[in-house]
A and B are shown apart, each in its own frame.
Chain A
Amino acid sequence: MDLTLKIWRQASATAKGKFVNYKVQDISAEASFLEMLDLLNESLVQKGEEPVAFDHDCREGICGACSLYINGRPHGPDRGITTCQMHMRNFKHGETIVIEPWRAKPFPVIKDLMVDRSAFDEIMQAGGYVSVRTGGVPDANAIPISKRNADLAMDAAACIGCGACVAACKNASAMLFVSAKVSQFALLPQGKLEANERVRKMVARMDELGFGNCTNTYACEAECPKEISAANIARMNREFLVAKITAPKE
């Protein structure tokens, strides 16, 4: 199939960006979306032009590196998958595809379609862990965990940290990302001891980093490539409330 690509080009974080149109021809329906971009880039290099920069690595939907708004939707039109998992059979011959970077204040553009998501690492550093050291821990089967809770924790832990939730939200809220981590640990006995402190610190860091409030639109849940449930946000709100009530007085 032949396609027109309308791609956001921006030379650097400080440069002004703009849309540029490109034509690609003879794209196989079996190719992945990123392979289609590879073909575009290969042709640009051959012409001596600068290829389009975009983040990617695993190309199988697990590392969370790829991003992109495709025709206005994070990770494109198909549900429950990342951009790298999307195949060109989702598009029609002659179509124009608009490709943009995540647009959210806490994720500044680095170049073209690449953005800086280090804010997520910073939120994790604020409390996204159980404070155990290597060694000296009990036998793995010493603490039985109900299958139900283990499964729910796994559902939450499946988050790949891609940032689609933030990109989908009109307020650039990171509630789905943060609540997935908070929920995973809140559901497990290992995480219980530090639960109050964890949620307080992670939420505080999230606010400091400029992520917006959650106004219960749940675009995040709809666009999440791993279909992380917004029920995690409700769970985090409960955790947060408890943490507030029990907070030590300053």
Chain B
Amino acid sequence: MVKLDAKIPHGPIAEKWTNYKAHQNLVNPANKRKLDIIVVGTGLAGASAAASLGELGFNVKVFCIQDSPRRAHSIAAQGGINAAKNYPNDGDSIYRLFYDTVKGGDYRAREANVYRLAEVSNSIIDQCVAQGVPFAREYGGLLDNRSFGGAQVSRTFYARGQTGQQLLLGAYSALSKEVANGSVKLYTRSEMMDLVIIDGRARGVIMRDVISGKIERHAAHAVVLATGGYGNVFFLSTNAMASNGSAIWKAFRKGAFFGNPCFTQIHPTCIPVHGDYQSKLTLMSESLRNDGRIWVPKSPEDAEKIRKGQMKPTQLPEQARDYYLERRYPAFGNLVPRDVASRAAKERCDAGFGVGKTGLAVYLDFADAIKRLGKHVIEARYGNLFQMYEKINDENPYETPMMIYPAVHYTMGGIWVDYELQTTIPGLFAAGEANFSDHGANRLGASALMQGLSDGYFVLPYTMQNYLADQIGVARFKTEAPEFEQAEKETRDRIQKLLSVNGNHTVDSYHRKLGLIMWDNVGMGRNKAGLEKAIALIQELRADFWKNVKVTGTNDQVNPELEKALRVADFLELGELMARDALVREESCGGHFREEHQTPDGEALRNDKDFNFVSAWEYTGADKEPVLHKEPLVFEYIEVKQRNYK
């Protein structure tokens, strides 16, 4: 049986990364030119990795689904990126960022990885500023910060409400520079179909050109998956439409273990669902919780009147409102971590205090902030978000409170990686949201951007060399190898199978059904009966999909229906693994809330004695049950406590 080795370097936590770098193997410049690396994905993680590896002198091929690397889903991140700079002099430090991240993740992340993340966070800001990223500044010309949930310091750097865009454009410009230099070759509108393994090592990928439908083989000495998160398994989420779980699912099926698949983040501040034709949900950045106050009516009668349109929220007097986060969590108030805020909203709505037509919404109110700071300040801080809200809801949030409700947003789970970000398949690395690494059971706001760029700019360029150092004698691979032949054949067969079912139901109809099963049973509240039901329902739906799905068109053309079908087929397997993982984890932690395990006042109740581990699932074959491996978590630098935001 495979033994999980996280390869955590020895020594005190603050010296681990320095020690690692001092002793790792390196590749000399002449040899770098002989080594090929494939990077799948051009989000923050992929673009920064590809650019940095190209600068070092490796031959890099980089792939993305969209027509340009600049359109990766990272572009949509709004609020900001954390770093331990302590520019505001409010008591921040590397240790504190490390501590907040581990605590925010409800003590289910690996200490050494998180410490390294906090350590390199400052270099990320330096790097981005050097690239010309226009972060917000104060009048004195220095960088400005704001606060995010789960922290008592202001450590979030931002570029208006478009931080992800600006960081991605920075990484994209670095990538463009390397494409121009010839060290990186760029393949757009290209989707990964399979991973190729030769003699137990990752040696290539099978890609589909989405314009021509051509199936292509690419070989390399190492492969990086930076393909983002799988939140779209829920159909409705804040993720972009093309976000998918297929690349990592293919890796899972080829032997990479899947870490904590059930850890999903449901974000508290999203625009509520309004119709069944809806294709995605829109996030209202967490930064809004800096100035907005969350409330519902104190009495169910008032809530009812508001739902029926007989009363406006602005007519409800102050004393008739329940600012439930401020009430329940006086220390953190509206800035509690996301999982806590989401559950609290669900609790109020389930109890009959929700607003909006459906009763599945709460208010996020800026009236106080506007009174205190003036409309112009709020406009400068959140103008584009307010505009976005108004366009969607046809309501002016400067005059009436916003309506929000939790929505699926991020997946903490992902491919299991060790300290080097290497998966259980030698030569296969995973970065960004695609790996499981740093956020435990709940990610703090503004930490995904930090992690993606940390992985790409500052971790992989080191750790991959440690792997590649003994590969310099390995000649370039030929794509005629039988392993490529086989993987390509499997891809073609799968596509053919999908096109030939010719049933009666659209791909989207299956995706929507899967989403509902997931939301109802593997969403914000989970229990044994629901999870068992979900597994059965998903198996049924999957069988039905392969019998009755209708995919129009052919393979040798632009065929968005086929692209969707390939992704949904994988989601139909991944969803089941998520439910299995949630079923096994008989505790509540972070975003994973098992209704059987809660404190008397409804807070998540962890079970450190039995569940202080990372779940790492191994694929054992189609329609066979996957096997669970456990990576025990050791906390040496942080005292494990019940999380308390009161």
Contact = CB atoms under 8 A, between A and B. Distances in A.
A190 B170 CA distance: 12
A38 B126 contact: no
Given A42-B506, A63-B76, A135 B70 contact: no
A158 B557 CA distance: 33
A31 B75 contact: no
B40 to A, nearest CB: 17
Contact of B508 (A38, A116, A145): A38
Contact of B129 (A12, A120, A140): A140
A63 B75 contact: yes
B52 interface: yes
A150 B172 contact: no
Nearest to B124: A140
Contacts of A60: 76, 282-283, 388
Interface stretch (A125-133, A207-215, A216-224, A233-241): A125-133
Contacts of A86: 391
Interface string B67-87: 111110101100000000101
B70 A64 contact: yes
Contacts of A110: 211, 558
Interface string B168-210: 0100111011011000001010000000000000000000000
Interface string A37-55: 0110010111011110101
Given A35-B278, A126-B180, A134 B71 contact: no
B143 A62 contact: no
A85 B127 contact: no
A122 B127 CA distance: 24
Contacts of B143: 140-141
Contacts of A64: 68, 70-71, 75
Nearest to B282: A60
Contacts of A57: 66, 71, 73, 240-242
Given A59-B240, A157-B166, A35 B279 contact: yes
Interface stretch (B133-141, B340-348, B531-539, B623-631): B133-141
Contacts of A51: 552, 560-561
Interface string B115-141: 000000001011111111011111111
Contacts of B71: 57-58, 63-65, 161
B280 A59 contact: yes
Given A45-B550, A85-B391, A39 B277 contact: yes
B275 interface: yes
A161 B242 contact: no
B2 interface: no
Nearest to A30: B274
Given A121-B186, A128-B176, A116 B134 contact: no
Contacts of B164: 62
Contact of B67 (A44, A65, A125, A139): A65
Interface in A54-91: 55-65, 78, 80-81, 85-87, 89
B162 A158 contact: yes
B442 interface: no
Contact of A30 (B241, B275, B508, B561): B275
Given A50-B552, A154-B160, A190-B132, A28 B240 contact: no
A126 B180 CA distance: 7
B159 interface: yes
B131 A147 contact: no
A62 B73 CA distance: 9
Nearest to A117: B67
Contact of B176 (A31, A114, A124, A190): A124
A124 to B, nearest CB: 4
A154 B134 contact: yes
Contacts of B278: 31, 35
Contacts of B509: 42
A144 interface: yes
B481 interface: no
Interface string B34-77: 00000000000000100110010000000000111111010110
Given A58-B240, A62-B75, A111 B558 contact: yes
A137 B130 contact: yes
Contacts of A132: 127, 130-131, 174
A129 B125 contact: no
B508 A150 contact: no
Nearest to A121: B68
Nearest to A187: B134
Contact of A53 (B68, B280, B560): B560
Contact of B177 (A85, A116, A131, A158): A131
B458 interface: yes
A90 B485 CA distance: 52
Which interface residue of B128, B129, B180, B186 has the most chain A CB atoms within 10 A?
B129
B227 interface: no
Interface string B152-166: 000000011010111
Given A59-B279, A138-B126, A140-B143, A46 B508 contact: no
Nearest to A111: B558
B338 to A, nearest CB: 19
A44 B461 CA distance: 48
B506 A143 contact: no
Interface string A141-169: 10111110010011001101100000000
Nearest to A132: B130
A175 B461 CA distance: 37
Contacts of B391: 78, 81, 85-87
A30 B162 CA distance: 25
Contacts of A143: 129
A53 B557 CA distance: 11
A116 B67 contact: yes
A185 B85 contact: no
A31 B277 contact: yes
Contacts of B277: 28, 31, 35, 38-39
Given A50-B552, A63-B76, A129 B173 contact: yes
Contacts of B280: 59
A21 interface: no
Contacts of A30: 274-275
A173 interface: no
A110 B557 CA distance: 10
A25 interface: no
Given A57-B241, A128-B176, A134-B52, A190 B552 contact: no
B552 A129 contact: no
B457 interface: yes
A235 B440 CA distance: 48
A97 interface: no
A188 interface: yes
A185 B558 contact: no
Nearest to A36: B277
15 contacts: A55-B67, A57-B242, A58-B75, A63-B73, A121-B188, A124-B173, A125-B176, A125-B180, A129-B177, A132-B130, A134-B52, A135-B123, A140-B135, A153-B134, A154-B136
Which 8 pairs across A and B sit closest by C-beta, in order of nearness? A144-B141, A129-B173, A137-B130, A154-B134, A140-B129, A153-B134, A134-B52, A111-B558
Given A154-B134, A158-B160, 10 more contacts: A12-B558, A35-B278, A45-B561, A53-B558, A64-B68, A114-B558, A126-B180, A130-B131, A157-B169, A190-B129
Interface of A: 11-12, 28, 30-32, 34-35, 38-39, 42, 44-46, 48-51, 53, 55-65, 78, 80-81, 85-87, 89, 110-111, 114, 116-118, 120-121, 124-126, 128-135, 137-141, 143-147, 150, 153-154, 157-158, 160-161, 184-185, 188, 190-191
